[in-house]
A and B are shown apart, each in its own frame.
Chain A
Amino acid sequence: MSATIGGAARYVGASVHRVEDARVLTGRGRYVDDLHLPGTVHAAFLRSPYAHARINGIDTTAAKALEGVVAVYTHEDLAAGGVYPMGVPEGPPDYKLPTYTALCSDKALVIGDPVAVVVAESRYVAEDGLQLIEVDYEPLDAVATFEQATAEGAPIVWDGIGTNVMYREDIAVGDVAAAFAEADTVIRRTLVSPRMTNTPMEPRGGVCEYDAGRDELTYYVATQAPQLLRMFVSGLIQHSPTKMRVLGPGDIGGSFGQKVACFKEDVVVCWAAKQLKRPVKWIEDRVENLSVGGQAREETMEAAFAVKSDGTIIGIDVHMKMDHGAYPAVPFPAAVFTTLVRVMLPSYLRTPSYRFETTIYATNKGQYVPYRGPWAAETLVRERMIHEIAKELGIEMADVYRANAITLDEQPTKMTTGPTLEGMTVANVIERALEMADVPGFRAEQEKARKEGRHLGLGFSTFIEAAPGPADYGEITGLGAGRDPAVARLEPDGKVTVITAQVPHGQGHETTLAQIAADELGVKFEDVRIEHSDSRTVPFTLIGTGGSRSATMGSGAALVASRALKGKILEIGSGLLEVAPDDLEIVDSVVRPKGVPDRGMPLGQVAQVAYFMPPVGMEGGLEALDAFAQPPGGWVASTHVCWVEVDVETGEVTIPRYLVVEDCGTMINPAIVDGQVRGGTAQGIGIALLEETVYSDEGQLLTTTFMDYLMPTAAEIPHIEIEHMEFEPLAEVNYRGVGEGGTIGAPAAVANAVGDALGVSVDRLPLSPARVLELVDANQS
């Protein structure tokens, strides 16, 4: 499991203690609400209690008069202050892109829509101020479902657009009609993924400070993408991006895709700081987070699979309907996510004929944001359908896998939708999972248990993930990994700083990137410091961390920047030691002739020469910027296996065993990889069994607390076994992303296991006890 980059590997491959733990375990992390800037005032938003309402007037007089209130702003103030309306700047042709104002102008479109903001000396007073604002709302009928969205005479979410259908697309590959005509069997199911929300433990928030003398804004914010936020917010409030700095506070309490957008509140907070010339802090509470922090995945898939009698899938036809809520999240049109689903759905299957139809609807619900594996619907559909195919044909999922999965010796080849498959090891991963799962053994146990009145079930779910995938995956989806930059610097004391474009929010980049740089530069792990998340110092990339790209791209960037720095160090060392650079090495922070341990110069000494007496003709300092280009391959393959027992009296589902087999290439830090896999899988189990953002048919949000929006605890999540596989690498940088896979794989594995236990088709998640009992009843009737 050790890597072979840059000579002898010492740190890569080892479960080195996390650098981050020294602070997070002792209460010395620094999250955005921990910042206490002098003179800070606190913002609280007045939010619409209606899903859809016209706003006929707002009276802020009493709120403004309250002692301790510094300012109250509505849309009129923002408009007068030069704040532009916001919206998604670009989408596919015919994609409807509404623009909207940061505070509601004439209408509120969702429960929790911000109508006004009160800024006060304390958060408590700001909330008092909210109570004193009088809003003249005229409630309107709301759209809460797909069906309502297109019903005769339906209310329209976006008046200017005139329809609730925001996008339609119908794309086919091969001869789909012929495939369905040729099929021995056609399996049809309608599968429903519930609406859910990312729910990082730290809600959204930011503090913006304005330096009037320099006309500079500094926004400390929990975000995955500081540069993106800087570009959007500065543009919207008409402030020079050069004079705007966006940075993380040091630590971010999770995100899972939520904190990647430019939110309405970001715009208001930064604009208010500039007006008031005082730091403005906004920290949302959990009710706000569950209402308007961002939601995801409400998708219905009408699927038909054309199958031969041996289980070969010859045609796929899917219509995906997505509910994107009211506001498209800046800057991601929801079509980005449906495109990813469309491209990824055929995945590892050889299936030549494929049609995918998309309809995206607007409703009066929370905005759609990326959530850990935003394309996961592709796995839910494919793997649920493979389970149904196996059941229909009286064979095992294993047989369907073996009939359809592209093997290593068939590669390089193309996925049905075009991306190049190379080094994609799904067939090997499936075989290992089957070996460990012992399906025949389980069937015997299942039958025996059934005679005792117990319902056991076994489910599989297999997927491949572009983590980050090859370059043509980026061209086809429009979401390529491209290049990732990094800076490496030898400091005057001989220690190393690496500046990464990644924006860690739990992944442990300060540890993994230091492992890579330390190995490449021949220095101690403890002597490498990782700097990140500051738009002023980090080389520009629009997206920081996201899309499972950091393992390859962030690590690759740290490697190439360290290598470039090493070249510079050896050049100076060559002059000092009078040995050709190629004959030098760095070992234990000493530059020395290769294999001559007693004739060297410590890095600190080389740094002093570089900084304080640089040789004539050489620039001072020792710093290197380099960018890493996407390597070939980049596919992660994984099979999840879930064993369940269903209590048909109570509807409770327990998971006695759970197995993840995966190939993510070389592991930089196995303990961190395992943490990502288990954490992602736990979220996927939550999706399968518990989590659902529920709106009433009137658009009223019913899940506003953790008493209603249920997430898994230690009592629900079993021990998750992990089997790592690693094959011959295609490229030097063979680390691939594992952050999203668990959440992608688990929902179908659990659903298939429950379906297997009860002998039913699980068409809707989550499998709450009530829904399981409905399935039990359906099976008995």
Chain B
Amino acid sequence: MEVRVKVNGVDRSAVAEPRRTLSDFLRHDLELTGTHVGCEHGACGACTVIVDGEPVRSCLMLAVQASGSEITTIEGLMGADGSLHPVQEAFRDAHGFQCGFCTPGFLMTTVSFLDENPSPSDEEIREAISGNICRCTGYGSIVAGVQLAVERRKEVGA
């Protein structure tokens, strides 16, 4: 059946079987391969995207359930001029990631979290990203990246 969504501000549609996951739909039907699939059972967080303002594990949602929704994926974080999102910039400056596979999930989780809680404590940061697994970094640089994004946001008074 036809699934229509607005992804990163653009109306997109494709035919998908009812059983097709949102992650497969985004990756293989819409060719937005920035969203990664790490476990297919909602435990690793790599496939996190934002659906109607909420972070969602796209491997646990069916494409048909997302029909009519507004979705933001990693491809939609950059500015129209190609500039990095402040969280992307902070992660770059903190050397946040290594292999990059879990990265899109951490970014979408963090962006969504900081929208809810713009000045979190270190403990709240660790708690917020504890649903995402990174196997490379030991998390220190990711936590530092989130902290840096928070500090910068405070500096510009946003």
Contacts and interface: CB of A to CB of B under 8 A. Distances in A.
Contact of B101 (A201, A286, A683, A719): A201
A309 B139 CA distance: 43
A720 B99 contact: no
A671 B148 CA distance: 15
Contact of B36 (A23, A31, A672): A31
B31 interface: yes
A685 to B, nearest CB: 8
A674 B132 CA distance: 21
A29 B130 CA distance: 24
A717 B139 contact: yes
A25 B44 contact: no
A714 B147 CA distance: 14
B101 A254 contact: yes
Contacts of A201: 36, 38, 44, 46, 99, 101-102, 133-136
A674 B96 CA distance: 11
B98 interface: yes
A21 B92 contact: yes
10 pairs of A and B residues whose beta carbons are closest in the complex? A27-B34, A24-B100, A253-B101, A506-B99, A682-B138, A27-B74, A678-B138, A706-B43, A506-B98, A34-B33
B34 A28 contact: yes
A714 B143 CA distance: 8
A713 B137 CA distance: 11
B interface residue count range (under 10 / 10 to 19 / 20 to 34 / 35 or more): 35 or more
Given A17-B93, A675-B141, A683-B135, A202 B34 contact: no
B73 interface: yes
Contact of A29 (B100, B137, B143): B100
B99 A675 contact: no
28 contacts: A21-B91, A21-B92, A24-B99, A24-B103, A25-B92, A26-B75, A27-B74, A27-B104, A29-B100, A34-B27, A201-B36, A201-B38, A201-B99, A201-B102, A201-B133, A253-B100, A508-B98, A672-B95, A675-B98, A675-B141, A678-B137, A679-B136, A705-B43, A706-B41, A711-B135, A714-B126, A714-B129, A714-B142
B131 interface: yes
Nearest to A199: B135
Nearest to A40: B28
B45 to A, nearest CB: 9
A563 to B, nearest CB: 28
A720 to B, nearest CB: 6
Interface in B50-108: 73-75, 77-78, 84, 88, 91-93, 95-104, 107
A18 B126 contact: no
B147 to A, nearest CB: 11
A295 interface: no
A33 interface: yes
A683 B138 CA distance: 7
Interface string A661-695: 00000000001101100111111000000000000
B2 interface: no
A12 to B, nearest CB: 16
Given A15-B95, A28-B75, A742-B138, 4 more contacts: A25-B91, A26-B34, A36-B28, A201-B36
B138 A202 contact: no
Contacts of A742: 138
Interface of A: 15, 17-18, 20-21, 23-31, 33-34, 36, 123-124, 199-203, 251-254, 256, 285-286, 505-508, 671-672, 674-675, 678-683, 705-707, 711, 713-715, 717, 719-720, 742
A679 B140 CA distance: 8
B154 interface: no
A461 to B, nearest CB: 16
Contact of A21 (B32, B33, B97): B97
Main secondary structure of the interface of A (DSSP, over half): loop
Given A201-B135, A715-B126, A25 B95 contact: no
Interface string B9-31: 00000000101100010011001
Given A675-B137, A705-B43, A506 B100 contact: yes
A678 B19 CA distance: 40
A36 B28 CA distance: 8
A317 to B, nearest CB: 35
Contacts of A29: 34, 100-101, 103
B99 A200 contact: yes
Given A26-B75, A202-B38, A18 B135 contact: no
Nearest to A721: B140
B19 to A, nearest CB: 7
Contacts of B137: 675, 678-679, 682
Contacts of A682: 137-139
A713 B105 CA distance: 14
B17 A124 contact: yes
Contacts of A254: 98-99, 101, 135-136
A27 B105 CA distance: 10
Most-contacted residue by chain B among A21, A28, A256, A720 (CB, 10 A): A21
Given A15-B95, A17-B93, A707-B43, A27 B33 contact: yes
Nearest to A507: B98
Contacts of B142: 714
A705 B92 CA distance: 31
B99 A202 contact: yes
Nearest to B102: A201
A286 B92 contact: no
A504 to B, nearest CB: 9
B136 to A, nearest CB: 5
A252 to B, nearest CB: 7
A256 B100 contact: no
